[in-house]
């Protein structure tokens, strides 16, 4: 990602198993890894039986209710993925709207780029079950059908907040949010949007929990979590508000060979390209937020990062396995933990072959 125009993160919102907001995330990230405490709240009572026998633990966003964020009308048929994303966007827009430099008209050119794995898996499965076990496709509730589409969350955010800019959903596994960041940056630089709300979302459900455990890509010691995080991406400059961070680099690549060595080499190339941007900007990386700790791809990531002797923080262990929201949690964690003026390297590998490396240069406001 190269361009003479710098882009900055002006605001962040986050809901995770650690709680709501950057302070809750920061506190959880700073807890000793040996503490062994499980983050988050309990899943709904209606789902309790579906987790019986599931290896490991699960953790939901504590005490989450969408009506704490938006009026009740229109929320009856929202799935949890959409509700989490809508809540995160509501918090973000609320903070942005308090700025004197943002007019109502500017929302006409504000877009969305959301990362996810498959959207709401639960909604898709439940709809199929209703069709197969019920009375056929003609008698299903049409109000729940939009929940089965992968772009439901981003679309609902745009509808609720009247955002008229580009509306995009990117599915690239655990690096989906970093892919969304790179895509959003290109949209702004090409003049398609004035501002982009960028993030990732993943819901906790028996479907995702059992699927994750049966796949065995994530260690049982890692909690299955959920969450949504979003950042406001805007051009930097003298007229811009104080930045939480500047996006110095964001590289997304693919490993042609899906082996430990192949993943490592692809990530190594992505990191090298990101570091070239750092060198050009005079940025020194002082913190790494790896994305594959606690997974079968941890060895590949370690190999790609062996040159670094700096502090590392494991975001996945702190907030739980959260699929397509992981990259967004890493972005929020970078803002929460990074020291002003230094670089934070965010990396990720998905077993599909996608790899990503991004560097944020932390601003003076946090």
pLDDT tens string 10-40: 999 999 999 999 999 999 998 855 444 557 7
Reply yes or no on whether the pLDDT at 112 is more than 90.
yes
Gap between the Cα atoms of 220 and 148, Å rounded: 28
Reply yes or no on whether the pLDDT at 283 is more than 60.
yes
- pLDDT (tens digit per residue) in 343-360: 999 999 999 999 999 999
- pLDDT (tens digit per residue) in 133-171: 876 777 778 888 888 899 999 999 999 999 999 999 999
Question: pLDDT at position 2, please?
Answer: 47
Q: To which residue do tokens 């309790």 refer? A: 48
- Mean of pLDDT values over 248-275: 95
- pLDDT (tens digit per residue) in 164-200: 999 999 999 999 999 999 999 999 999 999 999 999 9
Question: pLDDT at position 32, please?
Answer: 55
Q: What DSSP letter does each residue of 206-233 carry, written as one string?
A: HHHHHHHHHHT-B-TTSPB--EEEEEEE
Reply yes or no on whether the pLDDT at 210 is more than 50.
yes
Question: pLDDT at position 158, please?
Answer: 96
More confident residue, 1 or 70: 70
Closest CA to 63 of 96, 101, 28, 19: 19
Is the whole-model pTM more than 0.85? yes
Least confident of 35-39, 210-214, 301-305: 35-39
Question: pLDDT at position 34, please?
Answer: 40
- pLDDT (tens digit per residue) in 54-109: 999 999 999 999 999 999 998 999 999 999 999 999 999 999 999 888 888 889 99
Question: pLDDT at position 63, please?
Answer: 93
CB atoms within 10 A of CB 53: 8
Reply yes or no on whether the pLDDT at 4 is more than 70.
no
Measured between alpha carbons, how far is residue 259 from residues 113, 237, 349 in Å? 30, 43, 12
Structure tokens at 39: 């983050």
Reply yes or no on whether the pLDDT at 116 is more than 90.
yes
Gap between the Cα atoms of 220 and 216, Å rounded: 8
């Amino acid at each position: 990602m190269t361009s003479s125009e710098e882009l900055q993160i002006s605001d962040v919102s986050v809901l995770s198993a650690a709680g709501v907001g950057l302070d809750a995330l920061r506190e959880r990230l700073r807890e000793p890894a040996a503490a062994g405490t499980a983050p988050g709240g309990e899943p709904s009572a209606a789902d309790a039986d579906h987790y019986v026998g599931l290896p490991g633990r699960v953790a939901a966003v504590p005490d989450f209710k969408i009506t704490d964020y938006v009026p009740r009308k229109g929320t009856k048929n929202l799935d949890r993925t959409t509700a989490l994303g809508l809540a995160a966007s509501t918090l973000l827009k609320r903070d942005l709207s308090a700025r004197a430099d943002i007019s109502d008209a500017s929302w006409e050119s504000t877009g969305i780029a959301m990362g996810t794995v498959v959207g709401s898996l639960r909604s898709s499965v439940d709809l199929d079950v209703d069709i197969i076990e019920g009375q056929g496709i003609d008698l299903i509730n049409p109000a729940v059908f939009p929940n089965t589409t992968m772009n439901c969350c981003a679309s609902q955010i745009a509808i609720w907040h009247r955002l008229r800019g580009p509306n995009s959903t990117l599915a690239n596994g655990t690096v989906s949010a970093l892919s969304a960041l790179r895509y959003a940056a290109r949209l702004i630089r090409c003049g398609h949007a004035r501002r982009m709300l960028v993030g990732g979302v993943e819901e906790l459900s028996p479907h995702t929990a059992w699927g994750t455990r049966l796949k065995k890509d994530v260690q049982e010691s890692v909690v299955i979590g959920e969450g949504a995080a979003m950042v406001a991406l805007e051009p930097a400059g003298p007229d811009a508000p104080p930045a939480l961070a500047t996006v110095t680099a964001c590289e997304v690549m693919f490993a042609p060979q899906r082996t430990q060595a192949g993943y490592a080499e692809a990530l190594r190339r992505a990191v090298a390209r990101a570091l070239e941007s750092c060198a050009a900007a005079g940025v020194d990386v002082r913190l790494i937020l790896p994305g594959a700790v606690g997974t079968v791809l941890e060895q590949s990531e370690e190999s790609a990062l062996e040159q670094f002797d700096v502090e590392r923080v494991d975001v996945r262990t702190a907030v739980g396995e959260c699929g397509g929201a992981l990259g967004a949690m890493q972005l929020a964690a970078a803002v929460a933990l990074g020291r002003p003026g230094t670089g934070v390297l965010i990396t990720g590998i998905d077993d599909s072959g996608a790899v990503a490396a991004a560097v944020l240069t932390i601003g003076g406001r946090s």
